[in-house]
Structure 1
């Protein structure tokens, strides 16, 4: 045994040994057949302790590769954590084929960003934001000017959300430092949001999409039950809960309208305060106070407040319908430690490509490709799609593409079906 109870780094370990180390105070992961003790490092991990903890006792090779651009530099952090080598390690064909696909994508230059594309994207966001204020200053507090300004500001907020997503995934620049800087700039000054909170939540989602108790995006069972596993579990465990059989109806009141104006506003400020991210909090407040400083002299206090929560509500609707159309209708299960390709494909689907769909969704209509290659610039996702589809066909994994409106309708249908499953289980389990 090594220092601190570790085995010797030369020790060969079995999977059964690795899978014993899955608690918060004892975490081992496997990367490229090597075993690492990340118990203490997870608390310092830039992506958060939960993210790396989701792979405790599992093979994290593909996730490790997917989230890091500068692999050689990141591997230096792993060396002191090395525990031993996995005995008789042999990767499966699905993982081997996926790695070959990624190498092909690299050779095709699909991880190279177009700075012209991102310059134009940022320019049209800035023009919309500036134009929104200019309309108010030129025409004042008249209904049509307020509505036009509101529309421009709302579109700018959503497009900034898609763009910060690129910076957050380190897909724009060669160095993570520049991506992180632009991420904080866009999230803080353009959106009044928290880049750190986004990283904390969103990277967990990518690591284990639609996995119950690991993906925060499906940690919603206080208000909604989704998939086939969650409704049954909630119905059996809780005698009192929401009337989930009606969730497809109250979703329109509690979901899209309130996600950004209420939940996100509370959570991002809570994250910044509890984590003592004072500089980030300052930048966030600069956006909020700057907005009111510019609008109150024209609109008055009450109209400015109404304007603020109106664009948050519009942004919330747009974001919710787009983001959930790719995930909620898909498989939502407990962690089955699936290979990266199967894990991501089972949790995602695509929306048909068109110029409007690309813009409207921020290229997240190619959600499958984005989840497989999160650091790939979004304007290149469609180029790798045919190869991904072929790989899915080879391994019998469903590759689903839908029209935009069909994907929206499927959210409603899925909520209704899951709610009915909850009701059926609840009545059977608690009757009498």
Structure 2
């Protein structure tokens, strides 16, 4: 059956747009239902919807950070990418200290003329602001940026992956190639810890996979992290109609139960598919490029050919095998890590009345205690997921020290945060695909 017919069977009725059940997310995101989705297109939609008038919007005020872009301590990317959008959630989550807030008046231009297209609040005495003040105090005096443990782990994983890739080529061993692919997966996930932070070398380990660290700074850090499981979450919409996690009554039987059959294929092809989508967008002029980091994946075939004593053809074959294994492992870990289960909030469900951003984050996330118990496992399998969503710029190596603060604050604000097992989340992800009825009882009740 042609792929176009398969997509037709999966896709809901044409022009079917659902309103968000989150109060305050009043406008359906522009370009959300385009066939080829990307971070660049998502930003284009935000610029059309956010009422930032070509500036940067924080709450109901507009700011001009043009003179600050190249002196921004976190790197120029964050401001260049978000110009023309509402950055309220990013501003709050990415700045733990008071410094950024104290500097804001220097860049103020005027009040915004439209209401925010966002459901979330940041009240001074609310859950998130209270939690952040306690985290700020707990980290006072500590060196910012990545921990030595995270750096050593990422470097060791990359070294191991390249070494086994060379041995796989020299001995022509698919088993060693599979091991290299698995280690590449762990390398790529560890790099996710670094691209949330200021510009650094190790964030580019992510690009070894065919995926783009720059695109993921948009789709993951600016979209998914700030608006998880909502209509604004690009990591929800980019998989539609093949994987449909939002509860919709018009899902076809194929889209509800098909993932049980075809998910392994999706996992194994997600790396090369991301590259193909990016190339298509380059050729259509919807994305600038190619960029220098797009050529980083070529390190693997060059290393295999140079040191693995095999031909160019054999080097490419082994490289593609490594990428396929890495893609499959990444899909298995990433898509089942924390967000999809019938008991987790998804847009379409009834939200709780408290729209504090931190509370809403925890309603869309689950943690796996067996993973978060070990810092290395947390680094390479998206562990400490709740804390990471709340404070994405804090290195994974420091998050375990904040568990007690999170638990205390949750208890004070009566915000239950229930953990899940790895198996429960894997099973729940497929149950969520099959779910068509929204949860009418808000989280926590």
Cα 1:92–1:74, aligned 2, differ >3 Å: closer, same or farther? closer
Q: Report the counterpart of residue 169 of structure 2 in structure 1.
A: 136
CA contact (8 A) 1:167 1:180 kept: yes
SS at match of 2:110: strand
Report the structure number with the largest CA radius of gyration: 1
TM-score by length of 2: 0.68
In structure 2, the partner of 1:427 is: none
Matching residue within 275, 297, 304 for 1:265: 275
1:127 deviates by 3.0
Deviations 1:289-334 (A, max 9, x none): 5267448962662x54543333333222322232222012221116
Alpha-carbon shift at residue 415 of structure 1 (Å): 2.0
Counterpart of 2:245 in structure 1 is 226
Residues 352 and 402 in structure 1, CA contact (< 8 A), matched pair in contact too: yes
Cα deviation, residue 385, structure 1: 1.6
Structure 1 unpaired stretches of 5+ = 1-18, 171-175, 236-240, 423-432
Task: Give the equivalent residue in structure 2 for 1:83.
Answer: 110
**Partner secondary structure for residue 257 of structure 1:** helix
Which consecutive residues of structure 2, in runs of 5 or more, have no partner in the other structure? 1-25, 28-45, 71-75, 114-121, 439-445
- In structure 2, relative to structure 1, the CA distance for the partners of 1:320 and 1:386 (3 Å cut) is farther
2:235 aligns to what? 217
Equivalent residue for 2:443? none
Measured after TM superposition, the shift of residue 383 of structure 1 is 1.8
Q: Structure 2 matches for 1:35-184, cutoff 5 A?
A: 35-36=61-62, 46-47=77-78, 55=86, 60=88, 63-68=90-95, 72=99, 79-84=106-111, 91-107=124-140, 109=142, 113-137=146-170, 140-141=171-172, 145-148=173-176, 150-170=177-197, 176=198, 179-184=199-204
Cα deviation code 1:135-175 (max 9, x no counterpart): 532xx33xxx3312x133112211221222122011xxxxx
Aligned residue runs from structure 1 range 344-359, under 5 A: 344-354=361-371, 358-359=375-376
For residues 51 and 332 of structure 1, do their structure 2 counterparts lie closer, same or farther at Cα, with a shift above 3 Å needed? Answer: farther
Q: CA separation in 2, counterparts of 1:280 and 1:74?
A: 34
Kept after mapping to 2: 8 A contact 1:129/1:153: yes
Please state whether the residue corresponding to 1:391 is helix, strand or coil.
helix
Give aligned pairs, total: 368
| 1:311-326 matches, cutoff 5 A | 311-325=322-336, 326=338
Structure 1 partner of 2:339: 327
Query: What is the alpha-carbon distance in structure 1 between the residues aligned to residue 246 and residue 381 of structure 2?
Result: 25
Task: State the structure with bigger RCO (CA 8 A, min sep 6), 1 or 2.
Answer: 2
TM-score (ref. length: structure 1): 0.70
Distance in 2 separating the partners of 1:289 and 1:379: 32
Tell me how far 1:100 sits from its aligned partner. Answer: 2.1
Check whether the contact 2:166–2:304 (CA below 8 A) recurs between aligned residues. Answer: no
Which residue does 2:73 correspond to in 1? none
